[in-house]
Chain A
Amino acid sequence: MSVTINTKINGQSVTAVAEASTSLLEFLRDTLEMKGSKLCCNTGECGACTVIYNGKPINSCVTMAADANGAEIVTVEGLADGNNLHPVQQAFIDTGAVQCGYCTPGFIMSVKALLDHTKKPTPADIEDAISGNICRCTGYNKIVDAIHLAADRMAGRA
């Protein structure tokens, strides 16, 4: 059975038809050919597929595409303003937090969701925000550094 999905992705209205069983991640990657959100565990455990759904970070692999109907979705493709990277994207590059980079889009979306609401996150805030994202490359040091750097830049402290 197919369903028609009317949604807003990165500020653009999108209408597309997909199988009812399609996950939001499959809808983004396969139907819309937006490859920024990453497929990994497909069970909502690793966070590589994180997108912002009506302001909140979610695992798109365990969300139905049909749930995007009428929702506002932000993906990693929607953060940069032309050639100007979002401060979170820039901070991940500047601190060396992008090793293989496969987990990076998911982390960036979780961190953006955090910093949209929290100007000076505590270590506990950071732990909460990225506890659903797995990175196998960094040991998390440089990711935490990136979050602090991004927060400082966004609040004008750096």
Chain B
Amino acid sequence: MAKAELKIIGSSPARLGGVERVVGKGVYGIDLMLKDQLHGAILRSQYAHAKIVSIDTSEAKKIPGVHAVVTAEDAPNVRYGRSYIDRHILARGKVRFMGDPVAAVAAESPAIARQALKKIKVVYEPLPVVIDPEEATKADAPVLHDDMPLPKTIPADSGMKNVCGHAVVKVGDAEKAMAEADVVVEEVYETKMIHPQYLEPRIAAAQMEPNGRLTVWANAQAPFPVRQETAKTLGLPLNNVRVISAGLGGGFGGKGSGITSGAAVEPICGLLAIKAKRPVMIVLDKAEETISTTIRAGAKMYIKTGVKKDGTILARTGKVFYDAGGYSGFGVQAGGRCTNMLGGWYLMPNCHIDGYSVYTNKQVCGPVRGPGGPQAAFAVESHMDSIAAKLGMDPTEFRLKNMPKAGDKIVGVPKLRDVSLGETIKIAKEKIGWGKVKLEKNQGIGIATGSWIESAGPGGGSIVKVNEDGSVTVHIGKIDMGTIPGFGIPLIVAEELGIPVSDVTVVNVDTDASPWDAGTVGSRGILVSGGATRLAAIDARNQIFKMAARKLEASPDDLEIIDKQIRVKGTPTKSVPLATVATDAHNVIGEVIGRGYCDNLELMAEEKAHGSSQPFTTHACIVEVSPDTGNVKILKYVAVHDIGQPIHRAAAEGQIEGAAAMSIGQALCEQVVFDQDGRTMNPSFVDYLMPTINMMPRIETTLVEGFPGSGPYGAKGAGEIACVPPMACIANAIFNATGVRINKLPLSPENVLRGLKEAGKA
């Protein structure tokens, strides 16, 4: 559809669900109160690595007000996981990180539950701990999972240990091409673990119904995978488990990907409810969240690039050690993505990178906002500036020299459809004043680009029901955490059915009623549910036109809907209200029910034929570095993004600005700190620093249009890509200001000052 024809797509009407949120209605999971509910609590390992010798729950069970105490023995001996099926809902025989759940209780009050946890006697036999993912692969490292084999691609005589994922990028002959390079730059980059720190803690509530079914309320991003994994780990058939999405106060991938991300709080709660024969609710506290739920993993990345004198990249080699944590979680997928992205998104004729996802005695890697991407981009885009400096080239000219164009391939993408990367660089340069702005002493300017995956992935459906008054009720499988149910979906329905946004309701996910969905993850809301809803709305419109055509004695092809009226095009007086047709449907087909799907095979075929339309971005910033304290202040920050056609403009901007803020936090201050025993040193918000208004610049966002994506109306995903460039962007500006390259995050005063001192500049 041509842009000029769009009526409401691309505007910014009020979010659905806004009023209840600003007046303080209890729309979130944490606001739930089930009748007669017990309070659940989880006992967590105090060792990062230990054998469980025995667990004695007898004293805990005696406490008045305690209704259930459960351990692994109370649940089926069934493991869950995504690639490696390596985890029980409660630790069985061994704990692998501090925070691993060992037992759980349900009691009349939170205080009694806490008291009961203290009475559970666990005897541990401590084992050696390994914290660093590269060290964990070595011959002398302790083994976390005795029964998990190495990936098949790793030779048996390699001597490697604890590897649960191996990704290989091999393009051309990188070693040969490297030998022919004029200039070779070799560096090592390292990022640390950060926690997604959604503000609403994880909850789960569960109750057995009189008919023997288990109802679970979850503030999870993926209710259907939660249902599947809960049913599997509790030994229940799928039709006897119902998962209802309790509203989410943020997720950022930390509440994504089924119970692998929730540290199994849903099945543990279900198990308690079954044993106690009462409804149970578990609310994690923030410190417990920080040590036990899934995180954005740290990565150690070796990167080496050979270039010609004129700046043409010839070859890249590299190695990635990606920290999966105590269990594989999402570590295999995220580590693979990190490995791919270490190849960059420029022309790369020869490339060889090995990436290892590695078990360590830390909490588990989740699909946190752009899994693998921000880490890789910190290395790739810092490295690009290091190469440019060695060549004596302007960093933007060096990037433009290696720019792919339509039809080219980049690492991980066989064929690009159109490439907005150069355009985003050009606009970012203009906005930041590249080469023009006068920098004061200790100030520097930096730029970094990014890309993110599109299209291939799970499909999804949408159901659009037209009510008797012409209002519409939509069922999709994606949840509302400031994402499409409140923003994009109503616009799409309004666009196609000629009704106001306020006439659209999007139903909260209930696995008994909603279409299956993999979850609100991977920047796929618009692509999957947006695309499916557009087709469902068109299907509904076709049904309406077929019925209206009889009344209006016209061809369905000659009809249009404007302002809730179905009219004959060109003869506006010949019309019938949408409400009339929807009501009269009772006597025809019963109800107008439009259905639509996002068909993943179709998307992939389209991509194979015409190439993939990637979103691209360039961020640029100006910083001031204090040579006395090492403090970095961001003075100006611009974010230029191609996300195709924006659907809800303010929501798209908000996604970009929030994602950028999360990575600015990782750049400047955020990290989960561990001691050598694997204990988290900063579990509370007192010690875990994240960006407040004081350290955030105003992010100046520009949306570049004219590069349509494969989503509805040419949209592309927007939720994650802005996480990709900020760390390198800021590191490059620090390099520009000081001449010092900081290879390890965070770019905190401590680390920057150390870098300056080592270079003799402070």
Residues of chain A at the chain B interface (Cβ within 8 Å):
33-43, 45-46, 48, 75-77, 79-80, 85, 89-90, 92-96, 98-105, 108, 126-127, 130-144
A43 lies within 8 A of B684 (CB): yes
Starting from the known contacts A96-B651, A100-B199, A100-B248, 7 additional A-B residue pairs (CB-CB under 8 Å) come to: A40-B685, A43-B286, A131-B693, A133-B692, A139-B659, A142-B657, A144-B693
A77 to B19, CA, bound (A): 12
A30 to B686, CA, bound (A): 25
Which residues from chain B contact A76 at a C-beta distance below 8 Å?
A: 22-24
A136 lies within 8 A of B690 (CB): yes
Residues of chain B at the chain A interface (Cβ within 8 Å):
12, 14-15, 17-19, 21-28, 30-31, 33, 196-201, 248-252, 283, 285-286, 481-482, 650-651, 653-654, 657-662, 684-686, 690, 692-694, 696, 698-699, 701
B416 to chain A, nearest CB (A): 29
Quick one: closest B residue to A92, CB to CB? B22
A135 to B685, CA, bound (A): 13
A134 to B693, CA, bound (A): 8
Which residue in A41, A43, A105, A144 is a CB contact (below 8 Å) of B24?
Answer: A105
Using known A-B contacts A89-B22, A139-B696, A140-B661, determine if residue A96 contacts B653 with beta carbons closer than 8 Å.
yes
B31 lies within 8 A of A104 (CB): no
Which residue in B21, B197, B198 is a CB contact (below 8 Å) of A104?
Answer: B21
Quick one: closest A residue to B33, CB to CB? A33
A141 lies within 8 A of B698 (CB): yes
For the residues of B in contact with A, the DSSP-based class is loop
Which residues from chain A contact B650 at a C-beta distance below 8 Å?
A: 95-96, 142
A82 to chain B, nearest CB (A): 11
List, sorted by A's number, 21 A–B pairs whose CB atoms are closer than 8 Å. A34-B24, A35-B25, A38-B28, A40-B199, A77-B24, A89-B22, A99-B481, A100-B248, A101-B18, A102-B199, A103-B199, A103-B249, A104-B22, A108-B22, A134-B685, A136-B250, A136-B252, A136-B658, A136-B662, A139-B660, A140-B698
Which residues from chain B contact A33 at a C-beta distance below 8 Å?
A: 33
B697 to chain A, nearest CB (A): 9
B248 lies within 8 A of A79 (CB): no
Quick one: closest A residue to B12, CB to CB? A96
Which residues from chain B contact A36 at a C-beta distance below 8 Å?
A: 23-26
Which residue in A34, A39, A98, A99 is a CB contact (below 8 Å) of B658?
Answer: A99
B654 lies within 8 A of A38 (CB): no
Quick one: closest A residue to B283, CB to CB? A39
Which residues from chain B contact A34 at a C-beta distance below 8 Å?
A: 24
A109 to chain B, nearest CB (A): 10
Which residues from chain B contact A100 at a C-beta distance below 8 Å?
A: 198-200, 248-251, 481-482
A98 lies within 8 A of B22 (CB): yes
B699 lies within 8 A of A141 (CB): yes
Using known A-B contacts A102-B249, A139-B696, determine if residue A134 contacts B24 with beta carbons closer than 8 Å.
no
A103 to B685, CA, bound (A): 15
Which residue in A94, A108, A142 is a CB contact (below 8 Å) of B654?
Answer: A142
A126 lies within 8 A of B23 (CB): no
Which residue in B23, B651, B692, B699 is a CB contact (below 8 Å) of A89?
Answer: B23
Which residues from chain B contact A135 at a C-beta distance below 8 Å?
A: 199, 658
A42 lies within 8 A of B285 (CB): yes
B702 to chain A, nearest CB (A): 13
